[in-house]
Amino acid sequence: MKILIKNIKSLILINNEYQVKNCDICIDGEKIVSVGESADSFIPDYIIDGTSRLAIPGLINTHTHSYMSFFRNIADDLSFSDWLFGRISPLEDKLTHEDMYWGAMLACIEMIRTGTTCFVDMNMDMRAVIDAVTHSGMRAVLSRGLVGEGNNEGGRVRLEENLRAFTECTNPNITFLLGPHAPYTCDCEYLKIVTDTAKKHNLGLTIHLSESINEVENVQKQFNCSPIELMEKTGVFDVPVIAAHCVLLSDNDIDILRRNNVTVATNPKSNLKLANGIAPLVKLYEKGVNTTIGTDSAASNNTLNMFSEMNYTAMLHKGVSHNPTVMSADDVLKMATVNASKALHNPNIGQIAPGMCADITILDIDTPQFKPQNNLKSALVYSACGYECDTVIINGKIVMENKEIKTIDTQKVYYECEQIIKRIDS
**Candidates 143-151, 199-207, 220-228, 377-385 — which segment interacts with its own copies by CB under 8 A?**
377-385
Rule CB under 8 A: is residue 379 a binding residue for its own copies? yes
Smallest gap from Cβ 113 to its own copies, in A, equals 6
Question: Which one, 163 or 376, has the nearer CB to its own copies?
Answer: 376
* 365 DSSP 8-state letter: -
Rule CB under 8 A: is residue 151 a binding residue for its own copies? no
Of the candidates 16, 167, 170, 368, which one interacts with its own copies according to CB under 8 A? 368
Of the candidates 6, 31, 258, 318, which one interacts with its own copies according to CB under 8 A? 318
Residues 410, 405: Cα–Cα separation, whole Å: 8
Question: Which one, 162 or 313, has the nearer CB to its own copies?
Answer: 313
| Interaction mask 266-295, its own copies, x per CB under 8 A | ---x-xxxxxxxx-----------------
**Strand (E) or helix (H) holding 160:** helix 153-168
Residues 341, 347: Cα–Cα separation, whole Å: 6
Angle between helices 153-168 and 188-201 (to 10 degrees): 20
**Strand (E) or helix (H) holding 61:** strand 59-64
Spatial contact of 49 and 108, defined as CB atoms under 8 Å apart? no
Q: Nearest-5° angle of CA 380, CA 382, CA 387?
A: 55
Rule CB under 8 A: is residue 235 a binding residue for its own copies? no
Rule CB under 8 A: is residue 387 a binding residue for its own copies? yes
| Interaction mask 389-418, its own copies, x per CB under 8 A | ---------------------x--xx--xx
Of the candidates 329, 357, 358, 399, which one interacts with its own copies according to CB under 8 A? 329
Residues 43, 46: Cα–Cα separation, whole Å: 9
| Interaction mask 191-230, its own copies, x per CB under 8 A | ----------------------x-----------------
Question: Which one, 158 or 245, has the nearer CB to its own copies?
Answer: 245
Question: Which one, 194 or 327, has the nearer CB to its own copies?
Answer: 327
Q: Per residue in 179-204, is it b (16+ CB within 10 Å) or e — as a string? A: bbbbbbbbbbebbbbbbebbeeeebb
Of the candidates 14, 172, 224, 372, which one interacts with its own copies according to CB under 8 A? 372
Residues 315, 326: Cα–Cα separation, whole Å: 9
Q: How far is CA 78 from CA 83, 387, 426, in A?
A: 6, 28, 20
Rule CB under 8 A: is residue 65 a binding residue for its own copies? no
Rule CB under 8 A: is residue 55 a binding residue for its own copies? no
